[in-house]
Amino acid sequence: MPKRKKAWFRDADSFETRITLEADRGFLNLLDRTQDSLRNARNNAPNMTTKVLGGFVRTFYFDEESNADVIDGEMQIEYDLEQIKVYPITVVVLEHKDNSSEIGDAIVGHTQKLSGYGGGLLVRAYFSAFAHKIQKYIVAYEPFARSSIWEIRNPTFFSADGLQLDLTEYWRKRMRSFIKLLHYAAQCEIKHGSLLSLSSYVTCRGDQRIINVGKVYHDQYEAGKDMEDLMHLISKLFPDSSTNYEWVSLKNLLISKTMSDPATVQNFLRIALGHPILLGTVEEKLECFVTLHDGVMDLDDAFGHRARFSNRIHRDYPQLRRFFSSDLQDKVASEYDFRFRRLVPWNKLYYGLFTFRHASYLVLTENTNYGREPQNELPMNQFLEDLRSNTWSPRYGERYIYINIIRLVQKLIKHGANYCPQFGDLNHLLTEIKTRFSHNMCACYTLLNTKKDWITEPSFEPYGRLPTLMM
C-alpha cells in the first residue's frame, strides 16, 4: 500500500471536484458545529451516556497504482469525541463513463435501500467517491473476496435423500431470500441487471453475497429480467436442475407471464414462497397439497377451465406421461380408471380412497371452423360434452387423470391413516405421495397459479398459447 496521504480532494482541480469539495466543506463545518454543541451538552449533563451522533468518513485509502478493478483498502471514521478508528474496506473501481458519478451514487443508495430485505444477500456499500489520481469513481464496500464458480456451487443444490427432489436447506433458504429481495426491488423499480454474471457474486462474512446493485440503473427497467437471469445462472451452475422437475416447476412459475412483474402481482410472495419445493416442513407441504386440491376444484368447469388445466399439465410436463403410460391409451373406456394400472396398488387403502367420478365431461378441442365465419359467431375453441363421441381425439391429452391424482392425494392426506396406520406418520405419507406421483403436485401448483398464461388468452390450440418454458 502506498504512503498514506490526505484525502483525494486536496489536489483537486476539476470543476466537478471543486463543487464536491465545497459541499464537503460545508457539511464538515456544519458537523463540527453540531459536534461542539453536543460536547457542550455532554459536559453540562455528566449523566448523559447515549451518543446522539455517529461518526463520518474522514478519509480513505487504497492502492491507486493497482490496475485491478477490486482493491482492498481502509477508511478512517471520526466520532463525536474526536475518536478516530480505521476499518477495512474493499474498493470497486467503476468503468469510466460520463455518468459514473450517478452510477456510484445509485449503487450505494439502492444497496442501502434493499439491505433490509433478502436475508443478508447484499454486501454493504458504504459510499461512492471520486479517486483523483486514477480519475475514476469508486464504490467502497465492506470487505469481500472474489468467488470462484466452485465456491458458488457449494453446498450442493439438491438434498442427498433417496428421491433427490428437495433443495438442500441452504439453497431452500437462499432461494426464499432471493425471491423476497427481487420482489421488493421490483416494487422500487430497482434492478441489478447482471445477476447472470459470476462477477456479481462474492464471498463476504463467510457466505456468498451480491454486489453492484443498481449499476445499470440508467437502463430502462424491465420487469422480471433479474429473476430470469438468476434462473439461467442456476441452470448453468447446476446442470442437473434441468432434470429435477419439481425445480423446473418452480422456475416455470417464477418466469411465467403471470408472475413476470412482481410489483403488480397480488400475493406474489405468498404464491412464490408457497411452492412446495420452498416449504420447510412436512406439515406445510401436505397443507399445500390440500389447498391445491381446493383451488383446482374452484376452477370454472362451465367454461372448461378445469378441462384446459388437465390438458395443459399433459402438454407442458410430458415427463409425467411415463408414469401413466398404461393409462394413456386411446381407449375411452379406461380414460379415467387407473385403479387397475401400475400407478397405484389395488389394495384396501386405494380401493377405499380413490374415485374416478368428476363433475363434468367437458373437453377442450380446437374449432376447425374458426376463421371461416365471423369471429363473433364461432368460438376459437369449443368444448365437447360427450367424450365417447367420434370427435374425441386422444392426441390433445384431454384427460382428467391429473385432477384425479389431486383428488386422491387430498383423500390420502385426510383419511389415509383410517385405512393404513402407517400413514399416521406424516413423513411416510409425504414419501408415498412423491414416490407414487413424482412431481405432479408441484406441476399442478405452478399451473394453478399462472392462469394468465393459459386461461385468459384465446388460442387455436386447446391448451392456450404458451411461451417456451425453461427446462
pLDDT tens digits, 287-313 = 999 999 999 989 877 677 777 787 788
Per-residue pLDDT, 457? 52
Any domain includes 232: no
How many structural domains compose the chain? 2
Does position 470 have pLDDT exceeding 60, yes or no? no
Residue 50 CA to residue 37 CA, distance in Å, equals 15
Domain stop point among 143, 169, 184: 143
Per-residue pLDDT, 54? 61
What are the grid coordinates assigned to 222, written together?
424491465
Per-residue pLDDT reduced to its tens digit, 218-253:
666 677 899 999 999 999 999 989 888 899 999 999
Per-residue pLDDT, 464? 45
Does position 263 have pLDDT exceeding 70, yes or no? yes
pTM for the full predicted model: 0.74
Q: What is the CATH number of the domain that holds 43?
A: 3.30.200.20
Per-residue pLDDT reduced to its tens digit, 188-204:
888 898 899 999 999 99
Residue 318 CA to residue 209 CA, distance in Å, equals 36
Does position 119 have pLDDT exceeding 50, yes or no? yes
The residues facing 461 across adjacent strands are none
Domain stop point among 122, 143, 164: 143
Any domain includes 167: no
Percent of the chain with pLDDT over 90: 35
The pLDDT mean for the chain works out to 75
Provide mean pLDDT across the span 307-336: 60
Any domain includes 2: no
Any domain includes 331: yes
Residue 290 CA to residue 88 CA, distance in Å, equals 52
Any domain includes 13: yes
Nearest residue to 55 via CA among 77, 38, 87: 77
Per-residue pLDDT reduced to its tens digit, 139-148:
999 999 998 8
Categorize the per-residue pLDDT at 129 as very low, low, confident or very high, splitting at 50, 70 and 90.
Answer: very high
How wide is the angle at C-alpha 63 spanned by C-alphas 80 and 98, nearest 5°?
90
**Please, are residues 455 and 308 in contact by the beta-carbon 8 Å criterion?**
yes
Contacts from 191-194 at CB under 8 Å and sequence distance 24+?
Answer: 191/216, 191/217, 191/219, 191/221, 191/222, 191/225, 191/226, 192/216, 192/226, 192/229, 193/219, 193/225, 193/226, 194/229
Any domain includes 254: no
Categorize the per-residue pLDDT at 341 as very low, low, confident or very high, splitting at 50, 70 and 90.
Answer: very low
Per-residue pLDDT, 337? 41
Domain that holds residue 65: 8-143
Any domain includes 307: yes
**Please, are residues 92 and 126 in contact by the beta-carbon 8 Å criterion?**
no
Per-residue pLDDT reduced to its tens digit, 393-448:
233 333 566 777 888 889 889 988 887 888 899 999 998 888 887 788 999 999 99
Per-residue pLDDT, 120? 86
pLDDT: which is higher, 420 or 128: 128
Domain stop point among 143, 158, 179: 143
Per-residue pLDDT, 441? 92
Residue 247 CA to residue 278 CA, distance in Å, equals 9
Nearest residue to 197 via CA among 248, 147, 240: 147
**Cβ-proximal residues to 46 (8 Å cutoff; 6+ apart), any chain:** none
**E strand spans, 312-380:** 363-366
Per-residue pLDDT, 216? 77
Any domain includes 464: yes
Provide mean pLDDT across the span 79-93: 86
Per-residue pLDDT, 417? 87
Residue 364 CA to residue 424 CA, distance in Å, equals 39
